Structure 1
């Protein structure tokens, strides 16, 4: 049975782990290494997933003996990635795929910390993994074999959608758009709630209407991923929606703000590299 080792089982790591066990349980042994995640993972061992096996350990010394996982997924803080690779030197062998989901840690840095010719992959998932609806962007070094890349894709497709990038430089923009992006939509929802309250709606009604609208819009985009078409569909000439959009889109302000947000987040990602 092949092993998958997850290092760092916090909110994101734990969400990915649950998705993996649910979608890929048969034939894989999942090992989670995290000194603090024990209580939050207690329910996983009790989930009725036929054929799956799961082990949680708090310290490296407690890892199963002679563990050589097919994939090591590093879901630690960025500043802990290289040390984690060094500490796991005995586990990482030539056919291991080392996957980092830490923002700003380059494949060159990861390769420098590894003492073998292990394949190196970077992936940027987003918070949608908590509900099985992540969109993850990945970049694999050319040395990564097709079957290794396919296994990484299987892992991240189990918690949503997986998209491969041809250039590592584009990971900064992927981080800015999809990694940070959910926060932009949450902030817009907050602004809509505040606007409705200011105009006189009770707080609980403003929240219900704004949040329900964001949720339904997302579901519509899932069914038809064409935001321009959907915007045109809901906008009648000279109607209320057209009036609202006229105010929202006047002077290109929304496009400018969106561009500024993506550019600032991408710049910060580059600074962290």
Structure 2
């Protein structure tokens, strides 16, 4: 039985928890602490494998966990660590999804030699389609890495990275990334309405196109190949891509967006 203590069940933490309780079997027991959580609103029902509470003191017995997941905002991480301290033993893995808080900072707060992982999931966790990348400090064992991969792969795609500083770029690419696609979809809807389509038709077509394109990408993994497949020479799609700047202006815009988000992530760390 893998004992998981989660501190924080807000939007992201609650989404991950719902996915985990659906996807993982009886080999996991979750204890979740959040003084402000709306358990009913999250659709969570306590049971033998899922304990829900406001403080860890509500539960009797040994609190030591195999994994402690810190799913709070960065400014609340110190308080979360204090609340989780009774559950952190020498062999406990601490996993944080708080952006900008380094593993060294957490080790300083917990104690030297603690196994720590920083993970960056994204809003896709709300529909069990998260994209998550994670960094492990040297104290994390192969078995603990496997547990982390099992948890996050159960709610979407998962990748390990070897350089902690890359989490700033990952924040820019996949953490903030859904908003870029949402913004482009908004712009296409507004432009279609301005050109004469009704609001309803513009929304159905723009959103449906984005969803179907995402599923094609998921199946093929080849955005360039799909672009070529859809683009007839000298056709309407080619004209639109020319207007977007194709691989020149569009690529430069993407690079500027990623660098702006990455730089802001560094500033906030």
**TM bracket (short chain):** over 0.9
Query: Which of 59, 67, 83 is the equivalent residue of 2:55?
Result: 59
CA spacing shift, 1:42–1:201, aligned 2, 3 Å: closer
Distance 1:122 1:257 in 2: 29
Q: Does 1:227 align with 2:199?
A: no
Distance 1:85 1:177 in 2: 28
> Could you tell me which residue of structure 1 aligns to residue 18 of structure 2?
18
Q: Does 1:118 align with 2:114?
A: yes
Distance 1:120 1:236 in 2: 50
Uncovered stretches (5+) of structure 2, i.e. residues with no partner:
none
Number of matched pairs? 269
> Could you tell me which residue of structure 2 aligns to residue 200 of structure 1?
196
Uncovered stretches (5+) of structure 1, i.e. residues with no partner:
none
Query: Which of 166, 178, 186 is the equivalent residue of 2:182?
Result: 186
Q: Is the 8 A contact 2:68 2:84 kept in 1?
A: no
**Structure 1 residue ranges, 4+ long, deviating more than 4 angstroms after superposition:** none
Q: Is the 8 A contact 2:19 2:128 kept in 1?
A: yes
Cα RMSD over matched residues? 1.6
Distance 1:100 1:171 in 2: 12
> Could you tell me which residue of structure 2 aligns to residue 103 of structure 1?
99
TM-score (norm 1): 0.94
Distance 1:231 1:251 in 2: 11
> Could you tell me which residue of structure 2 aligns to residue 73 of structure 1?
69
Q: Is the 8 A contact 2:46 2:52 kept in 1?
A: no
Q: Is the 8 A contact 2:66 2:91 kept in 1?
A: yes
Q: Is the 8 A contact 2:39 2:45 kept in 1?
A: no
Matched position secondary structure for 2:3: strand
Matched position secondary structure for 1:144: coil
TM-score (norm 2): 0.95
Q: Is the 8 A contact 1:139 1:164 kept in 2?
A: yes
Query: Which of 169, 191, 200 is the equivalent residue of 2:165?
Result: 169
